[in-house]
Copies of this chain bind each other. A is one copy, B any other.
Amino acid sequence: MTVSDTTVNRPVKTVPMLSVRGLQKIYKVPGGEVEAVRDLTFDLAEGELVCLVGPSGSGKTTLLKCISGLMEQTSGTVELAGSKVTGPPKSMAVVFQEYGRSLFPWMTVRGNVELPLKNQKVPKAERTALVDAALKSVGLDHVPKSYPWQLSGGMQQRVAIARAVAYRPQVLLMDEPFAAVDAQTRADLEDLIRTIWKQLGVTILFVTHDIDESVYLGERVIVLSSSPTVVQEDLKIDLPAERDQLNTRALPRFMELRSHVYAEIQRAKLGPVTEQITAQRKAARK
């Protein structure tokens, strides 16, 4: 099943936090079908931070929707801590790619971030503290009373991130969460995610288009092929656990890894490696 020598196939001893097996998703459209995801299998151990990269339209959003129980897969299974996912699990939070549409326009910034906590009946004082901290961490402590439509694109996206962070989920799925923010904010948010990850032990699946970001953030990077999608590569990022924007990115190993991922993506885009991979997989199963 390995495609390159850097690919890992770590033996998972305990039950993985998240386990995706043979996932397939076919969209029904008038006059046909679109096979967005063909056959995806991978695991996330508890407390792992994994980045997912893949060409545009390769099914990353589709995959996240299936994992989060928002959409039913056509075949295959998703398991969360050993039990099948059939609906959205409580312990999971999602940051959507369409951040603009994921905020409630009738609620203030604060209201948006607070809502899931209120719904969880988190006591008022604790809630306020969590919301304040989350807003501060994304640099939005000055606009709690604004409405989402009064904010810039990047600010809206940060509200969505703050909402997920304040929620303190066990598993966090993020779909290109930094697409609309500037380079400096992006760097800050990347560090924020790593900090939260380390402090809270949350399991994170992070979709990004930025190759440097995937390498900088992740402990592993999963590269998807173009649609219909399979896992093209599952790459362990053997960088030191303590990372920082200047030094880590300057490491030769960082450069190597990013080049590797870049090449893989290019390969994914160029031709469907699908047949080849499926054939390999079939052979491996026998």
Contacts and interface: CB of A to CB of B under 8 A. Distances in A.
B182 A56 contact: yes
Contacts of A181: 56, 209
Contacts of A153: 56, 61, 97-98, 176
A159 to B, nearest CB: 11
A266 B182 CA distance: 10
Contacts of A186: 209
Nearest to A96: B153
Contacts of A57: 151-152, 154-155
Interface string A92-122: 0000011011000000000000000000000
Interface string A45-72: 0000000011111111110000000000
A152 B56 contact: yes
B29 A182 contact: no
Interface string A165-183: 0000000000010011111
Given A97-B180, A155-B57, A150 B269 contact: no
Given A98-B100, A100-B98, A150-B27, A182 B209 contact: yes
> Copy number in this complex?
2
B179 A180 contact: yes
Contact of A182 (B146, B184, B265): B265
Nearest to A34: B150
Interface of A: 27, 29, 34, 53-62, 97-98, 100-101, 146, 150-155, 158, 176, 179-186, 209-211, 262, 265-266, 269
Contact of A100 (B100, B150, B151): B100
Contacts of A59: 152
Contact of A180 (B58, B152, B209): B209
Nearest to A209: B182
A151 B36 CA distance: 10
Contact of A184 (B62, B98, B265): B265
A176 B156 CA distance: 15
Given A265-B182, A265-B183, A154 B56 contact: yes
A53 B186 CA distance: 14
Contacts of A155: 56-57
A140 to B, nearest CB: 9
Contact of A185 (B56, B60, B182): B56
A74 to B, nearest CB: 16
A254 to B, nearest CB: 15
A182 B54 contact: yes
Contacts of A58: 152
Nearest to A265: B184
A186 B262 CA distance: 12
Contacts of A151: 57
